[in-house]
Structure 1
């Protein structure tokens, strides 16, 4: 049981690993996230073209640019992906940060994988890039993601009103961040 008395489905023995994306991974992402059931109610934005990730994979392995992706695995099983995008709070050359996102396959949610994968991504970004800040935005109703990022060390910063158009309506987003420690 979790501290709040609810069922705690997390498995602390799972070995969560981030690795470079392959073409086969992109095929699986397309299949798993093709309809509203796959990404879930907070990440379904309608059908979108799949060419951009394939183009970026061919050009630079989906690494080393402003749009990046790693696959999330547990053991040898592909369970989802993490992404990071450059965002700026002023001039991009002096005030950029990373914004991260995660997409786990339905069968692998609620087990603590997302928390660990996002924390690993933060550690990776601070070790391999010069940013001072990593942020995440999530839907104001997405309680599971809010808990995951808080457990991963993110601090709640505020509400961004009517920031995201999805499912025929505007939705508030919550912003969280973690800062590089000196």
Structure 2
């Protein structure tokens, strides 16, 4: 049976439980994403202020027919000069929704959204060198492996090496089934 394509939508007050769960449970956001407990009160304040979407970052819910599967996020990354910026994206699926093939389509939808609504040329993502499932999801979403960044993420008491993936606007547009 084919998995339905996830829908991305803004976070509502009724969805804050997902962010709270991911802030409090190490596995709820993904083994490769856990870097310690987070301040859910700060997240709630940011939700009240701007619904977790600003000019420099954002968070959307990954919705499937059975419910909320997790969230996708993005933040602006600058390469020395503010005008030299791109988006860095991430995904955090709840454990009960992993392994269903949702990661690639959800991230592909996020990339389409970012290219449709902002003028950036590049979207990138980092993933732990051991996170093979995410590497495959990024490749299914149209990303290309650019390289390896040594000791870039601190998790579980040690520095971890990550792979850097990216997709450019023209590459994505050429492969986008909507065009």
Matched, 1:117 2:106: yes
Which protein is richer in helix relative to its size? 2
Q: CA deviation at 1:13?
A: 4.1
Equivalent residue for 1:150, pick from 107, 131, 139: 139
Q: Is the Cα contact below 8 Å between 1:84 and 1:101 reproduced in 2? A: yes
1:31 corresponds to which of 2, 21, 38? 21
Counterparts of residues 3-152 of structure 1 (less than 5 Å):
12-75=2-65, 77-92=67-82, 94-152=83-141
Moved over 2 A (4+): none
Gaps (5+ residues) in structure 1?
1-10
Question: Shift of residue 47 of structure 1?
Answer: 1.1
Relative to the length of structure 2, the TM-score reads 0.90
TM-score, with structure 1 as normaliser: 0.88
Query: Paired residues, what number?
Result: 171
Q: Distance in 1 between matches of 2:141 and 2:111?
A: 9
Q: Deviations over 1:83-109 (max 9, x none)?
A: 0000011211x1010000000010111
SS in 1 for 2:55: coil
CA apart distance, 1:61: 1.5
Q: CA RMSD in A?
A: 1.5
Q: 1:161-182 deviations in whole A, cap 9, x for unaligned?
A: 0011111000001100000017
Unpaired runs of at least 5, structure 2: 174-179
| In structure 2, C-alpha distance between the alignment counterparts of 1:59 and 1:87, rounded to whole Å | 22
